Structure formats: structure tokens, C-alpha cells
Structure 1
Amino acid sequence: MTSRFHSFSDRATLASTLAETVAAALRSGIQARGTATLAVSGGSTPKGFFEALSDLELAWDKVTITLVDERFVPADNARSNHLLVATHLLKNKAAAANFLPLYRDTATAGEAAEAVTAEMASLALPFDVVILGMGTDGHTASFFPGGDHLAQSLDLTLPRRVLTMEAEGAGEPRLTFSFSALADARLLALHIEGAEKKTVLDAALAGTDESELPVRAPLNRAATPVDIYWAP
């Protein structure tokens, strides 16, 4: 699979360009199917992109936003991706969007995964837009090196679902969409910033071992070519 590399001189320009691209894809989805779906990632990298996207004009009430992955922590926890999205994206014009959280107030992460998987039936899939991030360990979504469910999460023959992931580098137990749920998004982007992540990306593009650098799975096997957005 051929990825497309988009390089920007600064992070603000990347954020505004990616926001306009995503908004256009969502508008196309709404025009074609009446609704659109967007799955986003957490961490510090997407904050500027979220802020830019939140102020763009589109029929946000027809958009459902969800998370590519989430820590099994409540929405008011400082490490929650839900809190990040609520703070930086679900505001301004985008306040009208629908939000599908991954965390649920269940006894276990597994029960939360089952609940969200059942709710996925209401989404118009494939996703219109999926925005992936990447850690310096080469993880994307919650596909962590050494993850207890890594092989299952990357298996494209298994149905779309949310599953749990525990790994030494993950901190809390995680909830993550399966690769099969993300791989055929109409727009599939990888948003990374900084020299260190560019080095990891170059290593990922140079090899094939997904257990070493799981980001290789979307780069090499996604049905949709990955658009890589990078700024120093």
C-alpha cells in the first residue's frame, strides 16, 4: 500500500490544512449518505487540529465523532481522550456533533468493549474519516508492541469491533477499535509531529514486522492509502 506524505513547515499550518481536508470529507459524506463519521486519536498532538476543526462550517448535527482508542478511565480523568476531545473539539460549531464515547462505567474494560461494539451497529461504516496518531514506540490506536490482544486487533479477517488491550507501555487498560474497523475509512490519516516521530515513521516504512512497530499495519495493509501529515 502506498502512503502519501504531506510535510508542513509548522504545526499550525498542518492543523489548519488537515482540518479543512477533514471537513471536506465530512461534507462529502453528509451529501452522499446523509450522515458522516469521524474517529480521532488522543494525546497532545491533535489539540491544534481539533481547535481548527471545531470552528469550521458544516452540518455538525449530522456528524458522529468517536475515538480510535481510549484509556479505561472516566471522562473527567486527566488522561481521558474523551476529556481531550470535549475540551478541544466538541465546542464552537462542532458542539452540535454527536459523540460516541468508548469508556463505559462498567466493572471491566471487556464489558465496555462489548457495549460499544453493540452500539457500532448504529454507525454508518466504514468511517468517513479516521485520524491515527503514533507513539515513539511505534504504536497506533492501542496497538501496542507486546499488547495482550495485538494479533487479534490487527487481524483483518475478524469483524469490526472494539476490544481491550493491555501492554507494558500502555499504562491503564485500553479500549481500541480493531484494525478491521479502521482500515477502510474513506479518508485515513496519520498525524505526527516532531523529529523523533519522523525517525520512528522512517523505521516503520523501512520494515514489515508489525509486532515490533504496529503502525506498520495501517501503513502496509490498510485498504485505504494512508495520508501522513507531519510537521517538525
Structure 2
Amino acid sequence: MQLHQYTDARALNTDFAAKLVNLLQEAIATRGQAYLVVSGGRTPTALFNALSAADLPWQHVTILLADERFVPVDAPDSNERLVKANLLTAKAAKAEFISLYAPAASAEEAIADVLPRINALPVFDAVILGMGEDGHTASLFPCSAELNAGLAPDAPAVLAVNPTTAPHQRISLSLPRLLNTRQLFIHLVGQSKLEVLTKAQAGADVTSMPIRAVLQQPDVDVAVMYAAN
């Protein structure tokens, strides 16, 4: 793991967007298509805005989420809604988006529609993860009964998750699917997030802090992009 610290979030987002553009350009040059996995929430919004203005052949870029709340795509809490409003706009409006949502009675029932979409994808070029104060990442929550299934080496690409400490059912990419990428980033803003990261690095129990499963794996380059404010 490499920790990249920036003076503020603006400097972080400028450099981060440039790194992502380079990765996507390399992928397009190599295989004609690039695959980017992003996370929702407030932290990446400014990064999305910066990235959406980048000069790229966006029609050759496929974007999807690391996880999604099981709510309609036009709901206020929808990560898809946030991504479409802040990333799939301006020059990036030409990018393809793959949804983790499907109308169904439950997240578990939606998996039948969502799983084939993700199974069809090759190795990702970049995955951007966040991290909660409890050490969760994507929707791999320490409080959920589905955690071990999501961390397992033979986990399916996506799974339904029922967190007890956060609202809404979730659909999340599993750990092995998230790690099937050329580069993995953890995007953190705020001193409290650095303290959580330090705590995660000091222990080994992945069930109490699932982000440890990302930090401890040996096969994928992990870069932590951090600014205090």
C-alpha cells in the first residue's frame, strides 16, 4: 500500500483525476476499452466533476459502481443518480454505465438480473473505494451477516447485503471482483478517516474492519489518496 497525502481535497482531486485519465487512456490504447469502478457518497463528487471534463474517448469507457443502495435509480439515496449527475456529464456523458440496480421485491431477487451484467466484464482498469468510520468498504459491512460470503475467495461477483447499522439493502461487488483490477485506489478525505486507516493497518481481523481485506492482499497495487480537508 502506498499513501499519497495532499495539502487539500482540491489538490488531491486534480492529481487523482490525472492518474485516472492516464490509466483509462492506457487501457483504451491496449484493448480498445477501459473499465472504471467508482464509489458513491459525498467524498468523490468533486473528483467526478473534474474527471467529467477530461479529454478522453469516453465512448470507450465503461463505468460501474462498487456498490449500490437498493433504491430506485431516481431516489435521493441512489449512488447511480449521483454518478449520472456528477460524472456522466460534460465530456464523460458518452461513457457507458452499467447499473447495479434492477427492479425486484428485494436485493436478493435483483441479483439474478445484476449478476450477468458483472460476470460479462473483464479485469477492471481502476477501482476507487471509500471507507466508512467502521472500516467497511463498498457495502462489505462488519455488521452484516453476508460479510464472510462477500470476502470469500470464491464469492460471486455481486451479492445482496443487509447492513444493520446503515439504511437500505445493498448490492455490492464482492472482494475478489473488486480486486480483479489493474489498480485499486482508496479515496479518503478528513483526519478521522486517516485515524480509521491507521487502526485498520494495526490489526488483522478482516471481519471487524473489512477494509483490512483490501489492505492486506498481496496481488493488487493499492494507493490511498488522502487529504485532511
Residue 227 of structure 1: aligned partner: 223
Quick one: distance in 1 between partners of 2:107 and 2:92? Answer: 28
Q: Residue 69 of structure 2 is aligned with which of 64, 68, 71? A: 71
Quick one: distance in 2 between partners of 1:92 and 1:200? Answer: 35
Q: Residues 119 and 157 of structure 2 are in contact (CA less than 8 Å); yes or no, is this contact kept in structure 1? A: no
RMSD of equivalent CA atoms: 1.1
**Matches for 1:58-207 after TM superposition, within 5 Å:** 58-123=56-121, 125-156=122-153, 158-207=154-203
Deviations 1:78-105 (Å, cap 9, x if unpaired)?
1110011011100011000000010111
Count of matched residue pairs: 228
Deviations 1:155-189 (Å, cap 9, x if unpaired)?
12x15411011121221000000111011311100
What secondary structure, in the 3-state scheme, does the structure 2 residue paired with 1:221 have? coil
Residue 14 of structure 2: aligned partner: 16
Q: Residues 184 and 223 of structure 1 are in contact (CA less than 8 Å); yes or no, is this contact kept in structure 2? A: no
TM-score (norm 1): 0.95
Deviation at 1:111, TM superposition (A): 2.3
Quick one: distance in 2 between partners of 1:22 and 1:226? Answer: 14
Residue 54 of structure 1: aligned partner: 52
Name structure 1 gaps, 5 residues minimum: none
What secondary structure, in the 3-state scheme, does the structure 1 residue paired with 2:128 have? strand
One-letter amino acid of the counterpart of residue 141, structure 2 = F
Runs of 4+ in 1 over 4 A off after TM superposition: none
Task: Mark the CA change 1:131 to 1:43 in structure 2 (over 3 Å): closer, same or farther.
Answer: same
One-letter amino acid of the counterpart of residue 48, structure 2 = F
Quick one: distance in 1 between partners of 2:40 and 2:28? Answer: 25
Percent of aligned pairs with the same amino acid = 41
Q: Residues 219 and 225 of structure 1 are in contact (CA less than 8 Å); yes or no, is this contact kept in structure 2? A: no
Deviations 1:117-148 (Å, cap 9, x if unpaired)?
1112332x211110000011110000101211
Quick one: distance in 1 between partners of 2:132 and 2:218? Answer: 19
Quick one: distance in 2 between partners of 1:193 and 1:13? Answer: 12
TM-score (norm 2): 0.97
Name structure 2 gaps, 5 residues minimum: none
